[in-house]
Amino acid sequence: MRDLFHVGDTVGRKSYGMDILFKIVEINEEKQTAVLKGLDMRLIADASLDDLAYPDPQEVQKYRTRYDKVQKECIRKIYRRRSMEREQLRGLSGRAPEEFFEMPGKILHLDGDRDYLEECMNAYKALQLDAVGEYVPEKEQPVQVWNLLHQHRPDILIMTGHDAYLKNPERNFQDLKYYRHSRYFVEAVRKARQYEPGKDDLVIFAGACQSHYEALLAAGANFASSPQRVLIHALDPVFLVEKVAYTSINESVNIFEVIKHTITGLDGIGGLETRGKFRLGLPKSPY
């Protein structure tokens, strides 16, 4: 007799060796299937209820502990990098870093997942980034992106949520119809580029797990997922654009360096040469 599952339960797929943990977001009792979203990966998947199982509570705790550890280590690395950059500034200017004020690029983050958006907003706060978050389902992002850009006037735009490469006998990785949400991300990027064509004026990251990387870049994104059609971490977009937001407008972002600051790395995220969005001011007002 199979387990009785409910929306919100944490489960794994037996056929995949319980390698990724998911939350159930929808159950179809007639078809005996469920729609799943990754706990920490931007993946959405369909599964038979017979293929689902509850993980051991200790395994869930270990899974979450690993997730928290990786996240905290990324944030520590970012602050170490910023500290080194401030020391370099002192050496070049002969002035104390405290005399300057900083203006990193403003971020608009559209996310098709409320839980992930909340996590990302917490990460932006921890990283002292100026970010606005909007929950927008993937299918609605092409419709809403123009007005949201006009409303918030960001320097950097993220459009993400969930995606998946759908199995097909041809193993055709170029046709958008074999992706769950990539076509919506592609359309949203095109709309954003109609609003602001310049890649250095509006920096765009788009995509989620296994998204159509080439199509997103061709549509006008500066950075996208997923070159190797792998899963990406929920916070990868945050760690990527942090480097853009804190790279000087006088410099191009080092592509390797920016992707190195993500959790997934080059298999999951890639992009184009892009100018940074950080501005330094002097002097800092005492008020």
The model's pTM is 0.88
**pLDDT beyond 80 at 230:** yes
Paired tokens of 204: 């765009």
Q: CB neighbours of 231 closer than 8 A, spacing ≥ 6?
A: 20, 38, 41, 42, 43, 209, 210, 264, 268
Residue spans per domain, the chain: 10-55, 63-281
Rounded average pLDDT over 195-221 = 97
Q: Which pLDDT band holds residue 1 (cuts at 50, 70, 90)? A: very low
Q: What is the pLDDT of residue 37?
A: 87
**Closest CA relative to residue 188, chosen from 227, 149, 242, 155:** 149
Question: Hey, is 161 helix, strand or coil?
Answer: coil
Could you name the CATH architecture of 63-281?
3-Layer(aba) Sandwich (3.40)
157-168 pLDDT, tens per residue? 999 999 999 888
The answer to whether residues 161 and 181 touch, using CB atoms and an 8 Å cutoff, is yes
55-91 pLDDT, tens per residue? 988 888 888 888 788 888 888 888 888 888 777 766 6
The answer to whether residues 182 and 174 touch, using CB atoms and an 8 Å cutoff, is no
Residue 204 is inside which H or E element, if any?
A: strand 203-206
